[in-house]
Amino acid sequence: MTDKKKHMDDQEIHETQSTPVDDGQTAADADRESLQSQLVEAQAKALEYKDGWQRSQAEFLNYKNRMARDNEMMYASMKGDIIKKVLPALDDLERALQNRPADDAWAGGIELIARKLQNILDAEGVKRIAAEGAVFDPNFHEAISHEPSDAVESGHVIAVVQNGYKLGERVIRPALVRVAQ
């Protein structure tokens, strides 16, 4: 580049920088304001993206928690369904033990089997619903008859026909009971 041309370019740059813009500002001030407005816009976009990211993170955590809760409920439901299928066998064993002869050796084996089944249920968190003598509660008991009784107060359970069970707070099978009138 020739010296004359270089001098002219320098002069143009100097004139451009000091040339007033429409409202009395220099070009450098206009550039600075333009850059500041771009910075403000970029910061606003960054905040918007950060907010969107945080919302996505929160939604994902909620989804994970919901899925874990749903899986837990499904597991408990399936477990309850399986246990419900085993309960009639336990009922039959208990009825057999109630009518057993006192001197039979095989009755001890049946009693051992019934205890093992009960221990398995206990280990799985299955609890027998206490019913005999309790106030009738339709959430835990199913009345099969209402009978007059001098020994038990009205609205209380006279006798349990079939034991009820619950898994945690969920009733697997209500107790079949006779209720005093």
Region 35-47: mean pLDDT is 95
Domain count, the chain: 1
Domain for residue 145, yes or no?
Answer: yes
| The pLDDT of residue 10 | 52
113 domain-assigned? no
Angle at 163 between CA 132 and CA 146, to 5 degrees: 55
Quick: pLDDT tens for 107-152.
Answer: 888 888 889 999 999 999 999 998 888 999 999 999 999 999 888 8
Is residue 27 domain-resident?
Answer: no
Q: Mean pLDDT, the chain, as a whole number? A: 85
Longest dimension (CA), the chain: 130
Q: Which residue range(s) make up the domain with 140?
A: 125-181
Write the pLDDT tens digit of every residue in 79-117: 999 999 999 999 988 888 888 777 777 788 888 888 999
The pLDDT, as a whole number, for residue 81 is: 92
Residue 19: is its pLDDT beyond 50? Answer: no
- Asked if residue 136 belongs to a domain, the reply is yes
* pLDDT more than 70, % of the chain: 86
- 133-137: long-range contacts (C-beta < 8 A, 24 or more apart)? 133/157, 136/177, 136/179
Q: Is residue 3 part of a domain?
A: no
Question: 155: domain CATH number?
Answer: 2.30.22.10
Domain assignment present for 139: yes
